[in-house]
Amino acid sequence: MSEPNTYDLIIIGAGPGGYVAAIRASKLGMKVALVDKRVTSGGVCLNEGCIPSKALLDSSELFVMARDKFSLHGIVVNPPSLDLSAMMLRKEDVVKKLTDGIAYLLKKNEIERIHGSAVLKGLNAAGLHQVEVIHSFSQPTSSGQQSLLDSVPQSTLMLTAPKIILAAGSEASSLPGISFDGQVVVSAREALAFDQVPEHLIVVGGGFIGLELGSVWRRLGAQVTVMEMLPQILPNMDRQVADMLYRTLRKQGIQFKLGTRITGVRRIGSKAIVLFNSGGGSEEVDCDKVLVAVGRRPLTAGLGLEELGVEFDEKGRVVVDDNYKSSVSGVYAIGDMIPGPMLAHKASEEGVVCVERIAGMTSEVEYEFIPGVVYTWPEASGVGASEEQLKTAGIPYRSGRFNFAALGRARCMDETDGFVKILAHQETDRILGVHIVGPRASDLISEAATVMSFGGTARDIAMICHAHPTLPEAIREAALDVHKESLHT
């Protein structure tokens, strides 16, 4: 009875939201088509976002260790030199192994992966949603870099399904009046693949993308200046964490111009002059790269959504209900296309829950326990409410804090910058937020998210035996400090 191009579910976008949703749907017994413009799956996250940036962050951190920290450990080496192209190749190899891994998973789950751009065409006579895919026959590129269809032979294909999940993700916003040129004024995608270390990189935007990529190039020797319109970096993070990170990054030589507005960029050959205003009149500065990382906007254009009558909010995001269903019956949306933090793991969660709800299950994304991480060094992470949010919401709380400087393992590692802060409800002791800046904060936050998901209290953490000497001991000490019972301060 099933026609070749008829599916139970068509998912548009094979990023961390879409491909995870596809696998879950397949495991629930649905026949799934997964459409993406990119040959490789994994979306921005895997191809030009989280994964390649972490590959470079890890590489560049090793470089800094060899250059600046080995001697402290008594390891004498010649000053290391940088082979940037080898570093980039390793990064591409990491990406390739992971995209290959997804391709394998999709195949194993018998998911139809279709390469091309999708347009929703409304319902057919049988009441199924039609999706037109303009697809190309180009071969997957080995580099794992994006390969948009352009001049390759094209054909169109009509797919139908009762349900569609939109998971097309987002793209970098540009500054008003300053468009990306792919050479000098670039987005994160290009900043992950510079062929040489810039002399002076200007990062516009003090959010996590700007800080992470700024860190990469700073470690590899670039002069880096972060310009941020607000008077602070990372406005949504806990203020103490953001302030600590700000001070540490400045110590590492990243320059900051806060409260600064970029008024223009003048290109001169392969360089540029950035015009800016920090409140004291117009100034300018030379640089050879400008990374614009001022936020991302949902990719909703070109999918035929307006024509179908899909509703958007004032920020251009798809309006969805608790089932992730849009205003159009049978059309769902997840990830960066809908409100909420633009995080890969949030999109994956939503993908799974959306599919499970389509299958009649009562799954739910527990948004309050979604951790956020900034992969600078030291790293910063947080889950739950910040101290500022608790104050604003008028929730009574106690705060406990422990500095890594007092922690044995951090001393051994010589990574003593930072702290763990635990915010617990004043009456119930239930943990409301945990904020960490310090070594491996990204890994440490999992314990916090786990305990919070279980409705745990600061005393719960304090009563759990933590191995010694380890970094997570800092979490226990912070939990003890909530009741001023800290052992090591």
Partner 1 sequence: MEIKIPEVGESVREALLAKWFKKNGDYVKRDEPLCEIETDKITLDLNADAAGVLTISVLEGTTVAVGATIGIVEESEVIAEVSTATSMKIMAERHEEPASSPSLRREMRENNISPDEVTGSGSGGRITLDDLFARIEEKSKMPPQSRPAVAKEHVSVAPSQQNESIVTVQQSKPALSDLKAMPEPAGQISVRTEESPSYSSARDERRPMSPLRKRIAERLVTARQQTAMLTTFNEADLSHVKKLRSDYHDHFLQRHGIALGYMPFFVKACVEALKDFPIVNASIDADDIVYHKYYDIGVAIGGEKGLVVPVLRNADQLKLYEIDISIATFSEKIKANHLAISDLEGGTFTISNGGVYGSMLSTPILNPPQSAVLGMHAIQDRPVARDGQVVIRPMMYLALSYDHRVIDGREAVGFLKKVKEYIEDPEELLLEG
**d(C-alpha 481, C-alpha 85), whole Å:** 47
- Binding status of residue 384 toward partner 1 by CB under 8 A: yes
- Binding status of residue 179 toward partner 1 by CB under 8 A: no
DSSP 173: P
**d(C-alpha 415, C-alpha 407), whole Å:** 10
User: In the chain, helix, strand, coil percent, each to 5?
Assistant: 35, 25, 40
- Binding status of residue 389 toward partner 1 by CB under 8 A: yes
Q: Which amino acid is at 357?
A: R
- Binding status of residue 232 toward partner 1 by CB under 8 A: yes
- Binding status of residue 45 toward partner 1 by CB under 8 A: no
Q: Phi and psi of 368, rounded to 5°?
A: -70, -10
Contact 289, 269 (CB under 8 A): no
Figure out which of the listed residues 60, 300, 457, 486 binds partner 1, where binding follows CB under 8 A. 457
Concatenating the DSSP letter of every residue in 311-362 gives -B-TTSPBP--TT-B-SSTTEEE-GGGSSS---HHHHHHHHHHHHHHHTT--
- Binding status of residue 340 toward partner 1 by CB under 8 A: yes
Instruction: Write the binding mask 390 to 429 for partner 1: x where contact by CB under 8 A, - elsewhere.
Output: -xxxxx-----------------------------x--x-
Distances, alpha carbon 410 to alpha carbons 75, 104, 215, in Å: 19, 39, 21
- Binding status of residue 368 toward partner 1 by CB under 8 A: yes
For residues 114 and 471, which CB has a smaller minimum distance to partner 1 in the complex?
Answer: 114
| Residue 468 known to be catalytic | yes
**Shortest separation between residue 59's beta carbon and partner 1, angstroms:** 26
Figure out which of the listed residues 67, 70, 82, 162 binds partner 1, where binding follows CB under 8 A. 162
First to last CA, the chain: 71
* Beta-bridge partner residues of 473: none
User: Which of the ranges 84-92, 178-186, 333-341, 469-477 carries the binding residues for partner 1, by CB under 8 A?
Assistant: 333-341
Instruction: Write the binding mask 12 to 31 for partner 1: x where contact by CB under 8 A, - elsewhere.
Output: ----------------xxxx
User: Which of the ranges 113-121, 280-288, 299-307, 310-318 carries the binding residues for partner 1, by CB under 8 A?
Assistant: 310-318
Contact 443, 396 (CB under 8 A): no
Using CB under 8 A as the criterion, which residues of the chain lie in contact with partner 1 when the complex forms?
1-2, 8, 28-31, 110, 162-163, 173, 176, 207, 229-232, 235-236, 294-297, 314-316, 323, 339-342, 358-364, 366-368, 372, 384-385, 388-389, 391-395, 425, 428, 430, 432, 453-457
Q: Which residues are catalytic?
A: 468
